[in-house]
Amino acid sequence: MTTIGWIQILLFSIVIFAVTKPIGIYMFRIFEGDRQPLPRLFGPIERLIYRLCGVDPKEQQDWKQYALAMLLFSGITLLVTYAIERLQHVLPLNPAKLGPVPADLAFGTASSFTTNTNWQAYGGESTMSYLTQMAGLAWHNFISVGVGIGVMLVIARGLTYRLQPGAPKTIGNFWVDLNRSVIYLLIPFSVVMVLVLVSQGVLQNFSSYIELTTLEGVKQTLAMGPTASQVAIKQLGTNGGGFFNVNSAHPFEGGTPLANFLEMVAILAIPAAQTYMYGLMARDTKQGWTLFGAMAILFFMGVTTAYYFETKPNPVTQGLAVDQTAGNMEGKEVRYGVANSVTWATATTDASNGSVNSMHDSFNPLAGLVPLVNIQLGEVIFGGVGAGLYGMAIFVLLSVFIAGLMVGRTPEYLGKKIESREVKLAMLYVLIFPLLILYLSAWSSVTPYGLSSLNNAGPHGLSEILYAFSSAAGNNGSAFAGLNANTPWYNIAQGLTMLAGRFLMIIPVLAIAGCMVGKKAVPESLGTFPTNGTLFVVLLVGVIIIVGALTFFPALALGPIVEHFVALAGKVY
Amino acid sequence: MADTRLKERSLFDPKIMRPAIWDSFRKLAPQNVIKNPVMFVVEIGSVLTTLILLRDLIAPTAGSQPLWFTFNVSFWLWFTVVFANFAEAVAEGRGKAQAAFLRRMRQETTARRLINGKREEKIPASSLRKGNAVVVEAGEIIPGDGDVIEGIASVDESAITGESAPVIRESGGDRSAVTGGTKVLSDRIVVRITASPGESFLDRMIALVEGAERQKTPNEIALNILLAGLTLVFLFACVTLVPMALYSGVATVSVTVIVALLVCLIPTTIGGLLSAIGIAGIDRLLRKNVLAMSGRAVEAAGDVDTLLLDKTGTITLGNRMATDFIPVDGATAEMLADAAQLASLADETPEGRSIVVLAKEKYGLRGREVTEIGARFIPFSAQTRMSGCDMDGRAIRKGAAEAISAHVQALGGTVSSHIDGVVHGISDTGGTPLVVSEGNKVLGVIHLKDVVKGGIKERFARFRAMGIRTVMITGDNPRTAAAIAREAGVDDFLAEATPEAKMRLIKDEQTKGKLVAMTGDGTNDAPALAQADVGVAMNTGTQAAKEAGNMVDLDSNPTKLLEVVEIGKQMLMTRGVLTTFSIANDVAKYFAIIPAMFMSVYPEIAPLNIMHLASPQSAILSAVIFNALIIMLLIPLALRGVQYRPIGAGPLLARSLVIYGVGGVIAPFIGIKLIDLVLEAVGLV
């Protein structure tokens, strides 16, 4: 670990902290303000879209109507993307003359982008036409984020709204939330980001691929394409699907150190800002900062662990003629080094981003454990845009329920009682996630079709399978390479896992919001369980670690943990 | 004393323990255990390991664990369930002992039923119906619950309340309710029966303390869902571990070990003690002589935000007492005190007695006998509105300001304006002025005050620290009410309270989302008692009040409300700390079991065995034994409840988190290591 490395990690943290409040205020004004920001610029576009779609923005939905609209919308967009993939050979903007995407891969990919996972079992430049990339996939980079933001808004409204007795239990309008998130937040932020990225040498063109001969005399094809526009939203929307196969490790995706840094900031900027917006909605910004605090602690725990173990030499190559003074450089870009690689790896898995600038598969076992655990904790450490905060809300409710009794009152959060129905729904949310990951990993680990595409045996192989399903269930999208996921089993199992990990988990969240929104709020008193402050931060961190770790510890023990001890003993598989 | 059932019973009274041990085995029946999902999983695990033990006895396989190991795991798994049952049985046993006592009192009595209000017929009490009228005379047992409709009698209610002093029951008013099973000591009353047999107060009380009518409270249900959910999560984790272990090269995965791991991980501690905590909460109230009609009421008591307290009897002693003598118009304090004492010697009211006592304490004037000094006592009358005495030509009178000034002026004296000032001053502070005159001269004013109970202010401060608002309810005018409220330290008051105003106040608080608790005894309190979230009816109160409330205070002590709230909070806290403790425990159990499970394939993971447990089998067994024993060790805590400290929610949470959260992580590391050392010492492993 070096001083310059720590300075970079610290600088990153300071920038995230600095943008939290301003972006949070901006988001609050978009979604909860009486007047949206920049009305002259965005207002006409917003109204035009309502008119085109026949949406009455004043209409309010209850949680069931909201859920129905969200599911219908996602279902239809899933089908549209599937169709584009299958028909790309007859559609325009296909200079590389790529054929149709195979059915299983097309399903896996459509699920992947609809669920904001962006798991890529394919190499973008060799499988997807420009049209598919832009209209089929990049489009989802915006709207799937809008869906996530919508769900977050619903649970935040459910917890913070104080309805008059007898008022209808409505929680917003899906179409309005979706439309506003794209028009006011994602597009403007992306435009700015694209301009900055292009200034840093990130590619943006529609050229055909370039054939050239390298200095070594080898023929090489250089893939081209509208990269910067993809990269901006893949980072901002915690999407993570790279334009190129190696994602942001590719020099055309993340060229300069500044581009790399800004792309990292873009991963966590909006998720961090959500906490401040939430605080504003709760009429107590300390509530938001409390969530931010818990997330920040978990982020530092992750990045420190990863950084510490990644600066250790790789025990297997020790003694060989490899210089390991800079740490374990396998699978890393020299221009980023260990500090920038582990920070990115931590951030991208804290959030449901999944973009990478180094290969997590090559990390030392316990450093590679960090991204895996980050995902398995439910991606609530800042988390995905929208998804991070609603996942965190579930953990908050559980923490309050488990420990709230200790102050001698039945549990309440923001003045609202947490009763059996909410506990039931929260437990449903908590159950689905490990069920998907553990069940499918266990299945894959003992079946020939699960093992046939696995390149590593032993504990590392298990880690790769675990990582694949964790990434799918958590809608992360990053991968431990070493597992070829472009097989019928993995495409279909992953596709279903992603859909379940997104939509089966969203329903209980919306239902909880529906229960909570109409509840009477008890005014705060000295006897109220404090949910803003250091004590709650500690409790929340404890519950997240214990509940997450306890669930996955046995599986992890057989994967990265065992691998660590085995590798120290110099054994390889 | 007719009764010992209300005495503090030791936690482990052998009279309760013996049947409880038997009960804890009887409760192993699956139809009983299935009510508790966590324990049901343990029981299924026990059956599984027992079957494996039998199989290994008959036909051992190559991959079998040693017999002693499987035996021990099975044994301790069974005992995990037994210990949980035991906790419940002990908690119930305490109630059952009390129910047995009550049942003995419900002996078959003969009732003298009145027909057409004249003729009497003797029928068994069990054939009485609602609306029947019965005659009860001295020495007879009242055959059922009812209201006195004729006569007045002293009744021994010690069977119900434990209070040996007889109480007066009379027709009409708020003291008309009688309870079946109590005994008339004097006179004759006619009672209209209000409850059919089997539905009487005594019957309900028996059912309640026995736990027969126990329903899970809302929070208990929610907590049960959480525990069942966690159990499922761990079930996934353990079941999926089998294929993953196979992948890793473990030749045969031992079901015994997987079951052991599962049982150690699921929240057995809180799962096993949860129902005992609920029963113990009701029981603790009963020992304070408060009968909770449901567990829900106890839970609500912990959540109360606003307490409505009647001024008289709860906040003040209820009697006005003399606290000061204020001489006027040139009289000295001694003269005034002397006159006031003489005027009050024969006055047997508490006010009168307090004047005599104050004169003695303040001015050393010893009480004199009225007859000795030859005084003639003038009793209070509604016409004169004064009392006093005549002796040796002195005519001393005391009474309301207007009455005395009329009396003095009639005798040709004058009343100075100074008196008016003093009188108003006293009224303004909530006191009652009593003016004393001798002949045609006013001597001064006695300050009578409603005296606030000792220590009540500190109690209210305690409530404020809990975040509970206290509201005093009084029929006094706002001025008097404000003065007393200030003195007693309540947060707010409702003056000139009518039943309607009281009801409105409760509803207002509830619309703000607050939970309200109150006490009441009269029939006109019944609607408010029913509306309040926690309504504590006084046992001396009317049948209507008792029906409307969800608790009955057998001592009829309104201050008890404060204890009720603390017991409710204790019950919720006990649940919270044991849940936290139970989950925190899992960390250590992982470190005991996981390395033990995979040591055979991956010997390199030995460093994970941070407790340095003797062998894989010893590690697993130690964790299982710890898991069972901790239930046993925590039974006293579950029954007694954790202590509530009114230090505000933040510090309270911090304290509990350190003790039960951090402690819950550390304790099992020590416990498991100790058990492992013992197992090693006895040579079992």
For the stretch B472-514, pLDDT in tens is 988 878 888 888 888 888 999 998 888 888 899 999 998 888 8
The residue to which tokens 């795991």 are assigned: B73
Q: Do B233 and A528 touch (CB under 8 A)?
A: no
Measured between CB atoms, which of A403, A538, A557 is closest to B594? A557
Give bridge partners of residue B291 from the DSSP assignment: B552
Overall average pLDDT of the B327-351 stretch:
84
Locate the chain A residue with the closest alpha carbon to B598. A558
Q: Do A546 and B587 touch (CB under 8 A)?
A: yes
Measured between CB atoms, which of A409, A434, A538 is closest to B302? A409
Q: Do B576 and A557 touch (CB under 8 A)?
A: no
Measured between CB atoms, which of B236, B515, B657 is closest to A438? B236
The alpha-helical segments, DSSP class H, found in B467-521 are 478-488, 499-511
B297 vs A293, more confident: A293
pLDDT band at A135 (very low <50, low <70, confident <90, very high): confident
A-contacting residues in B 631-670 (Cβ below 8 Å): 644, 648-650, 652-654, 656-657, 660-661
pLDDT band at B110 (very low <50, low <70, confident <90, very high): confident
Q: Which of A392, A373, A445, A497 is nearest to A119 (CA)?
A: A497
* 8 Å CB contact between B93 and B19: yes
Helices B560-598 & B295-303 angle (0-180, nearest 10): 100
pTM of the model: 0.87
pLDDT band at B94 (very low <50, low <70, confident <90, very high): confident
Provide the mean pLDDT of chain A: 92
Q: What percent of chain A has pLDDT over 70?
A: 100
Q: What is the pLDDT of residue A18?
A: 97
Q: Is the model's pLDDT at B7 over the cut of 90?
A: no
pLDDT band at A423 (very low <50, low <70, confident <90, very high): very high
Q: Is the model's pLDDT at B287 over the cut of 70?
A: yes
Q: Do B244 and A526 touch (CB under 8 A)?
A: no
Nearest-CA distance A561 → chain B (Å): 8
Q: What is the pLDDT of residue B363?
A: 82
B163 vs B71, more confident: B71
Q: What is the pLDDT of residue B175?
A: 76
Overall average pLDDT of the B418-424 stretch:
85
* 8 Å CB contact between B145 and B543: yes
Locate the chain A residue with the closest alpha carbon to B567. A408
- Supply the DSSP symbol for B444: E
Q: What is the pLDDT of residue B211?
A: 63
B310 is catalytic: yes
Locate the chain B residue with the closest alpha carbon to A555. B241
Q: What percent of chain B has pLDDT over 90?
A: 32
Q: Is the model's pLDDT at B100 over the cut of 80?
A: no
Nearest-CA distance A568 → chain B (Å): 9
B318 vs B343, more confident: B343
Among A113-117, A177-181, B94-98, B421-425, which range has the highest average pLDDT? A177-181
Among B69-73, B407-411, B640-644, which range has the highest average pLDDT? B69-73
Residues of chain B contacting residue A438, judged by C-beta atoms under 8 Å apart: 236-237, 240
Give the residue from A290, A410, A552 with the most B CB atoms within 10 Å of its CB, the best one to mutate: A410
**Amino acid letter, B610:** I
Chain A with chain B: Cβ pairs closer than 8 A: 228
Tell me the three state secondary structure of residue A14: helix
Q: Distances from the Cα of B175 to the Cαs of A177, B145, B152, B166, B544, in angstroms? A: 64, 13, 10, 13, 11
Q: What is the pLDDT of residue B164?
A: 66
Q: Is the model's pLDDT at A318 over the cut of 80?
A: no
Q: What is the pLDDT of residue B222?
A: 94
Q: What is the pLDDT of residues B429-462, one digit of tens each?
A: 778 888 999 888 888 999 988 888 878 888 888 8
Q: Do A442 and B242 touch (CB under 8 A)?
A: yes
Q: What is the ipTM of this complex?
A: 0.92
* 8 Å CB contact between A268 and A261: no
Q: What is the pLDDT of residue B4?
A: 39
Q: What is the pLDDT of residues A219-252, one digit of tens each?
A: 988 888 888 888 999 999 998 888 887 888 888 8
Lowest mean pLDDT among A5-9, A178-182, B390-394: B390-394
Nearest-CA distance B545 → chain A (Å): 27
B92: its two tokens: 């119930």
Q: Is the model's pLDDT at B635 over the cut of 60?
A: yes
pLDDT band at B111 (very low <50, low <70, confident <90, very high): confident
Could you tell me how far CA A202 lies from the centroid of its own chain?
A: 23
Q: What is the pLDDT of residues A150-171, one digit of tens each?
A: 999 999 999 999 988 888 999 9
Q: Do A553 and B594 touch (CB under 8 A)?
A: yes
B136: its two tokens: 């009860």
Q: What is the pLDDT of residue B107?
A: 62
Overall average pLDDT of the B265-288 stretch:
90
Handedness of CA B160, B163, B169, B175 (dihedral sign): negative
Measured between CB atoms, which of A165, A522, A528 is closest to B649? A528
Q: Is the model's pLDDT at B232 over the cut of 90?
A: yes
Q: What is the pLDDT of residue B213?
A: 58
Report the distance separating Cα B586 and Cα A571, nearest Å. 31
Q: Is the model's pLDDT at B163 over the cut of 80?
A: no
Q: Is the model's pLDDT at B321 over the cut of 70?
A: yes
**Helix or strand run (H / E) with residue B685:** none
Report the distance separating Cα A430 and Cα B227, nearest Å. 12
Q: What is the pLDDT of residue B684?
A: 75
Q: What is the pLDDT of residue B11?
A: 62
Overall average pLDDT of the B208-233 stretch:
84
Report the distance separating Cα A286 and Cα A300, nearest Å. 20
Nearest-CA distance B456 → chain A (Å): 20
Q: What is the pLDDT of residues A450-492, one digit of tens each?
A: 998 888 888 999 999 999 999 999 999 888 878 888 899 999 9
**Amino acid letter, B540:** T
Q: What is the pLDDT of residue B157?
A: 79
Q: What is the pLDDT of residue B370?
A: 63
* 8 Å CB contact between B16 and B645: no
Give the residue from A161, A376, A409 with the most B CB atoms within 10 Å of its CB, the best one to mutate: A409
Locate the chain B residue with the closest alpha carbon to A564. B605
pLDDT band at A130 (very low <50, low <70, confident <90, very high): confident
Q: Exposed, middle or buried, B207 (CB in 10 Å: 0-12/13-18/19+)?
A: middle
B61: its two tokens: 């396989």
Q: What is the pLDDT of residues A23-52, one digit of tens each?
A: 999 999 999 998 899 999 999 999 999 999
Overall average pLDDT of the B355-366 stretch:
83
Give the residue from B248, B274, B463, B585 with the most A CB atoms within 10 Å of its CB, the best one to mutate: B248
Residues of chain A contacting residue B573, judged by C-beta atoms under 8 Å apart: 405-408
Q: Which of A46, A23, A49, A21 is nearest to A35 (CA)?
A: A46
Q: Do B653 and A401 touch (CB under 8 A)?
A: no
Tell me the three state secondary structure of residue B141: strand
B96 touches chain A (CB under 8 A): no
Q: Which of A154, A169, A164, A165 is nearest to A70 (CA)?
A: A154
Q: What is the pLDDT of residues A48-81, one digit of tens each?
A: 999 999 999 999 999 999 999 999 999 999 999 9
Q: Which of A231, A238, A226 is nearest to A253 (CA)?
A: A231
Cβ contacts of B110-116, under 8 Å, gap ≥ 24: B110/B143, B111/B143, B111/B144, B112/B136, B114/B190
Q: Is the model's pLDDT at B5 over the cut of 60?
A: no
Among B29-38, B328-337, B556-565, which range has the highest average pLDDT? B29-38
Q: What is the pLDDT of residue B449?
A: 84
Provide the mean pLDDT of chain B: 85
Q: What is the pLDDT of residues A514-552, one digit of tens each?
A: 999 999 888 888 888 889 999 999 999 999 998 888 899
Strands B441-452 and B432-438: antiparallel
